[in-house]
């Protein structure tokens, strides 16, 4: 047991727990018994709070743990996370502003609310809601992977169900203060998390390279390691076969990120259009930190860091690379701060994700199909209960499924959520697609994407199916025809599935329009997409 680290970690964890409960009274509205207040923090967060909240939501414990681990294990391919978060903000800058405006005029809480209003179809909204919930669950599980990696590095590495006990305790605490305080809890805790992360990374990026002979030496060590154990795609440079995978994974991830319900939750909680614009300009500061953080994977190679063996599975857990690097090369007290930064970095996004999934369940399943006349207080109570269920469902992922598998599921989650892009993102600009085109496209993209993922074995061949998201082009078939036969290049499955979705949506839309099939009723007006916070058409907060 690393007692000093554990004491520092526990003290900081206790501090954010207190903050989580205090948050219920922070920027308090008239009541927390309304989704506007509990699930969206009163829709009044300014530029700084939104920056910390959205940054805390997007740059998760998984980012801080798994990106360096991927660099450690596979080299340059792990760096896809950097261009992905660079191209992301110019792509989403204008769509997010439009989504905020139309949501404030009509009181939308979830992306499925918007889809229902835009197309007048509760079936299409239900598809979007279910997709969002299923894509979010493994993402929450991944936060636990990061938290468990830190706990293992401090010596809490038991076997069987008892090995997960510290995780249970941490998540019960998270569940209770999220239940009480809603979105205000992760918003307030995000301040602490981000300040700790910035301190730890800036110290690490100056101190560690100096300790191991400078960046030139570190890159030489990484290059020597990958050349000594050649594997397809591994190395400090990309090769001809994985460049397309790198580019499509970065683009697909960028397109997917802000249609995840938890990302939109942070945006809808902001006060106005200018807050979002400022954040789209300022959030790339996190990408700078992410780039420096990713390089710690190479630093770990120079340091000779070895991953801890997970006692629950008997296999090395590469997610422990960064915690182990810090534990071995920093004083115990500073390592404890670093561990707390990663651990708290798991709690913030996990809380926001569970709230977003709970909002989807409440507004688009419970109120739509189970209790149409539910009062705002009943909606809020249902969302609180649903947030607990989602959290413990994610804990079940970790307990009953190999954590490495849940990381693969995150890549699958990207493929899943991309199928909502035509109905959510494109619909912000045009209503050209027909409802049946969108539904058909969703089914086609989802089915083909799952089929292609089924064909992919894991890198170590321990699993024959659902082993990743990189598909060799020679396996791509169209009704038995292999257009890229013999090609060893790989591509991200999400991009192929999205292309199939759009093609089918276009074809069915043209057929439906030719047959003059009714295309639902649009409850929005073109002017709704440009309304700002001072407009009288903005729906009052917590209005019935």
User: Do residues 527 and 102 make contact, with C-beta atoms less than 8 angstroms apart?
Assistant: no
- ∠ CA 510-516-520, nearest 5°, is 95
Q: State what percent of residues in the chain have pLDDT above 90.
A: 42
Q: Is 235 helix (H, G, I), strand (E, B) or coil?
A: strand
Q: Does a structural domain hold residue 263? A: yes
CA atoms of 93 and 50, how far apart (whole Å): 15
Domain that holds residue 225: 3-407
pLDDT of residue 139: 81
Q: Does a structural domain hold residue 509? A: no
Q: Does a structural domain hold residue 533? A: no
- Please count the structural domains in the chain: 1
pLDDT of residue 460: 67
Backbone angles phi, psi at 418, to 5 degrees: -60, -25
DSSP output for 311-371: TTTSSEEGGGHHHHHHHHHS-HHHHHHHHHHHHHHHHHHHHHHHHHHHHHHIIIIIIIII-
- % helix, strand, coil for the chain, step of 5: 70, 5, 25
User: Do residues 36 and 43 make contact, with C-beta atoms less than 8 angstroms apart?
Assistant: yes
Question: Tell me: the pLDDT tens digits for 72-98?
Answer: 988 898 898 899 989 999 999 999 999
CA atoms of 505 and 229, how far apart (whole Å): 45
Q: Does a structural domain hold residue 449? A: no
pLDDT of residue 42: 83
Q: Does a structural domain hold residue 470? A: no
In the 8-state DSSP scheme, what is residue 456?
P
Q: Which residues, other chains included, contact 248 with Cβ-Cβ below 8 Å and sequence gap of 6+?
A: 491, 492, 494, 495
Q: Does a structural domain hold residue 16? A: yes
DSSP output for 393-423: HHHHHHHHS-HHHHHHHHHHHHHHHHTTHHH
Domain with 56 in it: what CATH number? 1.20.1730.10
Question: Tell me: the pLDDT tens digits for 396-441?
Answer: 766 665 555 555 667 778 899 999 999 999 999 999 999 999 999 9
Q: Does a structural domain hold residue 530? A: no
Question: Tell me: the pLDDT tens digits for 262-309?
Answer: 999 999 999 999 999 999 999 988 888 888 889 999 999 999 998 887
Q: Does a structural domain hold residue 497? A: no
Question: Tell me: the pLDDT tens digits for 321-361?
Answer: 888 999 899 999 999 999 998 888 888 888 899 999 999 99
Question: Tell me: the pLDDT tens digits for 364-389?
Answer: 999 999 988 888 889 889 998 988 88
pLDDT of residue 100: 96
CA atoms of 159 and 167, how far apart (whole Å): 13
Longest dimension (CA), the chain: 72
């Amino acid at each position: 047991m690393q007692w000093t680290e554990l004491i520092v970690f526990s003290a900081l964890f206790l501090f954010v727990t207190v903050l989580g409960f205090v948050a219920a009274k922070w920027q308090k509205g008239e009541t927390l018994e309304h989704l506007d207040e509990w699930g969206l923090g009163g829709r009044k967060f300014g530029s700084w709070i939104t920056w910390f909240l959205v940054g805390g939501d997007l740059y998760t414990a998984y980012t801080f743990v798994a990106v360096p681990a991927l660099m450690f294990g596979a080299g340059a391919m792990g760096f896809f996370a950097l261009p992905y978060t660079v191209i992301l903000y110019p792509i989403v800058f204008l769509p997010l502003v439009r989504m905020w405006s139309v949501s404030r005029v009509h009181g939308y809480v979830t992306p499925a609310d918007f889809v229902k209003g835009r197309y007048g179809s509760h079936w299409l909204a239900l598809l979007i809601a279910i997709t969002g919930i299923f894509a979010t669950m493994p993402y929450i599980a991944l936060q636990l992977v990061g938290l468990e990696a830190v706990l293992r590095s401090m010596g809490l590495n038991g076997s069987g169900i008892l090995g997960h006990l510290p995780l249970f305790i941490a998540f019960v605490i998270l569940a209770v203060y999220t239940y009480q305080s809603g979105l205000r809890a992760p918003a307030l805790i995000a301040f602490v998390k981000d300040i700790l992360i910035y301190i730890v990374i800036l110290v690490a990026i100056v101190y560690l390279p100096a300790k191991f002979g400078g960046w030139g030496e570190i890159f030489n060590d990484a290059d020597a390691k990958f050349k000594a154990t050649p594997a397809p795609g591994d190395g400090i440079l990309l090769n001809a076969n994985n460049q397309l995978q790198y580019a499509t994974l970065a683009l697909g991830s960028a397109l997917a990120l802000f249609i995840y319900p938890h990302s939109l939750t942070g945006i809808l909680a902001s006060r106005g259009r200018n807050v979002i614009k400022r954040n789209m300009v300022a959030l790339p500061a996190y990408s700078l930190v992410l780039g420096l953080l990713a390089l710690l994977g190479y630093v770990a190679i120079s340091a000779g860091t070895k991953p801890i063996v997970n006692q629950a599975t008997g296999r090395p857990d590469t997610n422990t690379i960064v915690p182990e690097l810090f534990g071995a090369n920093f004083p115990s007290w500073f390592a404890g701060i670093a561990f707390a930064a990663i651990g708290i970095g798991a709690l913030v996004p996990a809380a926001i994700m569970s709230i977003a999934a709970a909002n989807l369940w409440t507004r688009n399943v419970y109120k739509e199909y189970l209790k149409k006349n539910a009062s705002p207080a009943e909606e809020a109570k249902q969302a609180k209960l649903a947030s607990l269920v989602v959290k413990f469902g994610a804990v079940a992922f970790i307990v009953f499924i190999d954590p490495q598998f849940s990381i693969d599921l995150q890549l699958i989650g990207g493929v899943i959520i991309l199928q909502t892009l035509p109905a959510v993102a494109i619909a912000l600009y045009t209503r050209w697609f027909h409802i049946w085109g969108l539904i058909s496209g969703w089914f086609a993209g989802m089915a083909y994407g799952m089929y292609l993922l089924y064909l992919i074995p894991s890198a170590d061949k321990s699993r024959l199916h659902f082993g990743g998201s990189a598909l060799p082009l020679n396996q791509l078939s169209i009704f038995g025809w292999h257009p890229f036969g013999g090609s060893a290049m790989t591509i991200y499955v999400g991009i192929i599935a999205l292309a199939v979705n759009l093609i089918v949506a276009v074809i069915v839309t043209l057929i439906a329009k030719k047959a003059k099939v009714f295309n639902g009723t649009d409850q929005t007006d073109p002017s709704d997409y440009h309304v700002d916070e001072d407009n009288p058409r903005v729906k009052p907060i917590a209005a019935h």
